[in-house]
Amino acid sequence: MALPPGAATALTPLLTGRRSIKELTGDVLDLEEVAGLLRHAAGVDGAGHPTYASARSAHLVSVTLVAGAVAGLHPGSYQYQASRHLLRTEALGDQRPALAAATVDAHWVTGAPAVLVLTADIRAADARFAELGPGQGDRFAWLEAGLITQNAYLWAAAVGRGVAFIGGLDRAAFAREAGSLLPAGHTVLGLLPVGHPA
């Protein structure tokens, strides 16, 4: 059965404009933009509700901001604390080359002004959902990472920025090159480089 096209909504142009954009200018992002990205992708709304769904409200995914060219932030890595909408400094210094070295083929990450690193403690996640069978926490963590990624893409489409999800990671290289960016016990799920489209 052929379906009608469906009524356009405020979401329609964002879905139309949602694209993976890997070619970024490297121009500086301002802190207001990065704060908007974090709030929309993995934060809480004005009523205190998370911006993405999470099984049992577990919120298994952690977000680390790696800033390279963000006005108002020193280059470094910052853990995002969504409930309080703040950044906690983890390490100073440009971490983007280490991230790029841990990818399969995304060396262009070094030019992204900001990168969101999505991670989860898979062991703890599996323990939280143990009664559902093995690997369910892992599954829910990946689903959360997908929801956060889609939010980041919609934010980028709304404000005219570029973003791309990078899942092609060499885990051994990541542990060697960028392991200090991971919270203790966490596994990297993916990277979201963000910037001005070229």
What are the mean pLDDT values of the chain's consecutive 10-residue runs (198 residues total)?
Answer: 93 92 96 97 93 95 98 97 96 95 94 97 95 94 98 97 96 86 91 98
Tell me which H or E stretch contains 117: strand 114-120
pLDDT confidence of residue 196: 98
pTM: 0.95
3 located within any domain: no
The answer to whether 181 and 77 have CB atoms below 8 angstroms apart is yes
Q: Is residue 116 part of a domain?
A: yes
Supply the CATH number for residue 151's domain.
3.40.109.10
Token pair for residue 139?
A: 């599954």
Q: Is residue 171 part of a domain?
A: yes
Domain that residue 78 falls in: 36-195
DSSP SS3 for 60: coil
Q: How far apart are CA 118 and CA 162, in angstroms?
A: 17
On whether residue 88 sits in a domain, the answer given is yes
Which residues sit opposite 92 in a β-bridge? 76
Residue with tokens 């901001």: 65
Residue 10 within any structural domain of the chain: no
With b for 16 or more beta-carbon neighbours within 10 A and e for fewer, the 101-115 pattern comes to bbbeebebbbbbbbb
Beta bridge partners of 169: 103
Q: Tokens in use for 6? A: 């469906």
- Spatial neighbors of 54 by CB under 8 A, at least 6 apart, are 60, 140, 144
Position 27 in a domain: no
Distance (Å) of CA 73 to CA 26, 152, 193? 15, 20, 16
Task: Tell me what pLDDT residue 172 has.
Answer: 87
Amino acid in the structure at residue 84: R
pLDDT for residue 31? 97
Domain count, the chain: 1
Residue 150 lies in a domain: yes
Q: At what angle do helices 136-159 and 31-42 cross, to 10 degrees?
A: 140
- The answer to whether residue 143 is domain-embedded is yes
Q: Which helix (H) or strand (E) holds 64?
A: strand 61-67
